[in-house]
Chain A
Amino acid sequence: MTTIAVQGLTKRYGPDTVVEDVSFTVEPGQVTGFLGPNGAGKSTTMKMILGLAAPTKGSATIGGRRYQDLRRPLTEVGALLDAGAVHGGRKAYDHLLALAVSNGLPRRGVDEVLARTGLEGVAGKRAGQFSLGMRQRLGIAAALLGDPPVLIFDEPVNGLDPEGIRWIRGFMRSLAQEGRSVLVSSHLMNEMAQTADHLVIIGRGRLIADTSMSEFLHAKGEGTVLVRTSDPGSFALQLTAAGAVVRDGVESALVVSGMTSLEIGKLAAYHGVTLSELTPQRASLEDAFMELTKDSVEYQGAAA
């Protein structure tokens, strides 16, 4: 099966090292999240994989070959960069047709990808009139033209409305389920938590983590739980006695860490306490990511 293999990839622009000695692989049948703060080198790495930027050192290969050596690249790799990277004056159909023809793909493939991305109705419209979400869909249609086993998406949910985000998430999951290798970049940990099976995290151009999502959650995702009850004071004591750490949240809620929501629920039942809310907090995942990358954020806002 086709994998993306990145080995010792380095990119320098003059004195600035944008990507430094990054190695990872993207395996088929799963979504690999490529995560890092803005300016971490994600886009540069993806451009090097696609042969759009030349590595200073190291290599990036797809199925063992450099992108430049692929005979019909659209049949091997589909890529979404920069909201479709499309000339706004061209109709969606013509944009896809030119790409298809350049790789010797049949004309009917254009209709197929238009249908798969829900753009049939606007195929005759110029891409400049498209909303951002529609342009993303057009970019994804282009990526799917050659039915490639490897897909690369750079920040696909950027600027999308919730409906569009949900569509893309489901879409990436289904592509992976079809056995394809899917590499998706994002700077939002929570976004990745919903889609990725595997995580590659970089910061300031360096590899920080290369791990499966479940391992990452297990190691870092020790979450907090938001608890509301009519008598927070006494329940807080009971929680502390049971080994949890309790902080006061907003509107007399309790923020509990060190216990799962299941354990807290059982404890409440044992003491006969009525809970009006018991919510596991996802934010901890974001916290774990921030913790990992805090030294590698380009510009950090000062705490107020």
Chain B
Amino acid sequence: MAKYKNYVLARSIEEAYELNQKKSSVIVAGNMWLRMCGMNKQTAVDLSLLGLDRIEKTQDGFVVGAMTTLRALETDTALNDAFGSVFARALAPIVGTQFRSTATVGGSVYSRFGFSDVSALLLALDAEVVLHQRGVVKLSEYQLEAWDRDIITHIRIPGGQRASVQSVRVSGTDIPTLVCAAAKSEKGIRIVLGARPARAVIAADGLKLVDAQNIHIIEEIAGRTAFGTNLRAGEAYRRRIAPVLMARAVKGCMECEAKEAAEDEC
């Protein structure tokens, strides 16, 4: 279990940032995985009083506070209306409702968990990370970086996209064996593979619809992606099922788009 000497409920993001510059400090978000990592820290810095738990609709999409819980993403009507309920569907298999009522989007993104359904979906949606010191960074870049001492304040999600997430799990509420997220925007189709078991990667970007629906092209993309082995599945298994999930995710985007078009006609 994680051990702290002091627990500080930060009163401002500046205070939290200053405290977090010491290596002996750690930011506490949802505290789901952090507490299990057995670390000894002098100061735990809590962001829960900073009002970073809101989901706001903007002209370009949505701005989500870093302390927003996964359950809030799952149940937010405006967010799910805008993205064809993809957040509700993609996050529902994560452990249980009580877990999702505490786990935060900022904690998931900062930790760059390989098994994260959240990171895979946000990466497919071309999300941006707002950091207190560095400002706005593309999640696709942030995802590749090493952990630093800056603090995520918000996640920006561009609107006007249709997305779908597909995953394979050993059992219903387990972490995924493989997760695939696809999003369709005006730039084309982006496909992300996560739980490889390494960090999620963009397997394809700007793909034309005709190519995304071609299983040979999908298989070729999966063939170029690196997979690994862990206790949940072997590299060969992941490589085998990846094209299936990718094809289903693309199909899911198209179904979402068709459904919305039909509703618009009504």
A-B complex is real: no
Which residues of B does A touch, CB under 8 Å?
A: none
